[in-house]
Amino acid sequence: NELNIYDAPYIKTKTNGSYLIGPDQLYVRDPETGKPMIWDPTDKKAKAFNDPTIKDYALEGDYEVNGVKCHPAFELIKEHVKTYTPEYAEEVSTVPAKTTRRIAREFAQAAQVGSNIMIDGVELPYRPVGTAIFRGGQGHTNSLHSVYATHIIGQILGAADVPGSTIALC
């Protein structure tokens, strides 16, 4: 949040960050199809997430859809993590806030959000950073939050399954 570095095109089209969330913390759904909805700021209206007429995807803002006040999921995540400041982390981890800020800044800048690379004549996003958590981190009681936090960093920076980042081989 302090750096305001994130890969908006990636979040808009490759994640559910643009999906509208209602006050019940559930997706706002199209009444006809049941599909999650997004807000198209160009057309100034809600559309099903896979509507071929979508021109853009809102990542922030207050909207009302079918009488339901809602926000894009990305905005809710941004608001949620604001409470977890480097000062808060220092209290529970003993890592100085200035160190957390420095590492976050270095990592976000190293991600080169917006950069691309040509591979075999195909232009692809290039994010030379990665996060991974394996058996050590995920094998503990209540580790879900650690795993989630680790993975969401890559999603916010668009550094998931693209050249330079962590590639999932299944």
Count CB neighbours of 134 within 10 A: 8
- Per-residue pLDDT, 60: 97
pTM for the predicted model, two decimal places: 0.89
- Per-residue pLDDT, 90: 96
Structure tokens that stand for 121 in this block: 């004549």
pLDDT digits (tens, 9 = 90+) for 34-80: 999 999 999 999 999 999 999 999 999 999 999 999 999 999 999 99
Q: Say if CB 22 and CB 46 are below 8 A apart.
A: no
* Rounded-to-integer distance, Cα 111 and Cα 126, Å: 8
Q: Which residues of the chain have pLDDT under 50?
A: none
* Rounded-to-integer distance, Cα 62 and Cα 21, Å: 10
Structure tokens that stand for 136 in this block: 């050590």
- Per-residue pLDDT, 131: 86
Structure tokens that stand for 69 in this block: 């006040």
Q: Strand (E) positions, the chain?
A: 20-21, 37-40, 45-48, 63-65, 68-72, 116-119, 122-125
- Per-residue pLDDT, 168: 66
Q: Say if CB 124 and CB 163 are below 8 A apart.
A: yes
